[in-house]
Amino acid sequence: MLALEADTALGELRLQLALDVADGECLAIAGPSGAGKTSVLRVVAGLLRPDQGRVRCGEETWLDTESGYSLAPDRRRLGYLFQSYALFPHLCSWRNVAYGMQDTPRAQRRARAVEMLERFGMAAHAYSRPATLSGGERQRVALARALARDPRALLLDEPLSALDARTRAHAGRRLGEVLRDSAVPTIMVTHDFEEAALLADRVAVMDSGRVVQTGTAAALAAAPASSFVADLTGAVVLHGSARKLGSGLTEVQLDGGGSLRSTHPGSGRVAATAHPWEITLEPPGSGAGGSAQNRLPATVATVTPVGNRVRVALRVPQPVTAELTASAVESLHLEPGTEVVAVFKATAIRIVAF
């Protein structure tokens, strides 16, 4: 169990939060850059001393500003994967991995290090310097190095963001396996909600130094507490003003034109959100039959294939993203500039406060 409380000034930002991570659990801290995510890891690692705070890992106290106690970073037994990996450029892979093995007898370090590298398919590169390795290979060496100390907690700073798209999927699966096998608390920082959803048991959404919502990725996507959280989860977010209709529905007048009806309650300035896969597209002028209440004329801005789906960016005029199958895109002849009608079910539209 890793428990953290911190309240500190970071330049313009005030970092103020409390987090608990159970053994074997992975908590993702998701949020935009500049939200203070990495600073949380630095507080846990002892690289940043908060004005006020407490860090406990299992039975050990690592930091307690009230009593003035702070354990030196090198005495906090943790594995830290840095965003840029921070491999030592003057040491080959196995020496990088062996660097943290001060408890292992010198004679056994190389064998242990190569064993760790083997686990990540990097034993063949044991004698390579970091400069000769690809991004994905460096990430694997850095992960082997972080795990080689048998850490009591794992801190991962944007573990996948420095990788290209192809390496990323593979590295993500491997990291998922590591986290499943791990019995220690893990905090992972990411700006990518999908990465958090893929790897973490729980997600804490952070904005301007504070945690604004915590829950499973599915719970956050289904019930975002604010338009900020909705936006981060990749949901479509449309700003407007809500008013109650007699039928128990809420009508949202969208900024820039158009209106949507929702079964969710709300009033005043709100954001109407939906998932990209809940939006269907129809050719303009097609009949207003069907049960959907919400039909917005839209113009296609871009068409981007993503795996077996296609993301279609639209202007209604606020930006909206819809996800369709490739065959649907083909039959609708979608390309930038095409006029379509975006159709939303009223039950799919959630209304959240700003």
Partner 1 sequence: MTARRLFPIALVASLGVALLFLTLPLLAIFLESSPAELLASLDEPGALDALGLSLKTTGVALAVIVALGTPAAWLLATRRFRGHALAVTLVELPLVVPPAVAGIGLLAAVGPQGLLGPALEEAGLELVFQTTGVVVALIFVASPFYVRQAQATFAALDPELLAASRTLGASEARTFARVAVPNALPGLVAGGALAWGRALGEFGATLVFAGSLRGVTQTAPLAIYERFSSDFTAALALSAVLVAASGAILLGVKLAMGPGALGGAGARG
CA distances from 298 to 30, 241, 295, 317 (A): 31, 20, 9, 7
The answer to whether 354 contacts partner 1 (rule: CB under 8 A) is: no
Smallest gap, in angstroms, from Cβ of residue 61 to partner 1?
A: 18
* C-beta separation of 220 from 229 below 8 A: yes
Nearer to partner 1, 190 or 293 (CB): 190
Q: Closest Cα partner for 46 from 14, 95, 80?
A: 80
CA–CA–CA angle 267, 270, 272 (5° rounding): 110
- Shorter beta-carbon distance to partner 1: residue 130 or 224: 130
Residue 82 binding partner 1, by CB under 8 A: yes
Cα 125 from chain centre: 30
Contact between 8 and 47 under an 8 Å Cβ cutoff? The reply is no
- Beta-carbon contacts of 94 under 8 Å, excluding residues fewer than 6 positions away, are 110, 113, 114, 117, 126, 127
99 near partner 1, rule: CB under 8 A: yes
Figure out which of the listed residues 109, 140, 145, 202 binds partner 1, where binding follows CB under 8 A. Answer: 145
Which region, judged by CB under 8 A, interacts with partner 1, from 20-28, 39-47, 216-224, 323-331? 39-47
CB of 16: closest distance to partner 1 in angstroms?
23
Q: Compute the least distance from the CB of residue 151 to partner 1, in Å.
A: 9
Q: Kindly state whether residue 77 participates in binding partner 1, applying the rule CB under 8 A.
A: yes
Q: For residue 162, how many other CB atoms are within 10 A of its CB?
A: 17
Please, what is the minimum distance in Å from the beta carbon of residue 71 to partner 1? 12
Binding mask 57-76 for partner 1 (x = CB under 8 A): ---------------xxxxx
Dig out the tokens for 289 from the structure.
Answer: 């039959």
Contact criterion met (CB below 8 Å) for 151 and 78 = yes
Q: Is 222 in the site for partner 1 (CB under 8 A)?
A: no
Shortest Cβ 85–partner 1 spacing (Å): 8
Binding site for partner 1 (CB under 8 A): 42, 45-47, 72-80, 82-84, 86-90, 99-100, 102, 145, 149
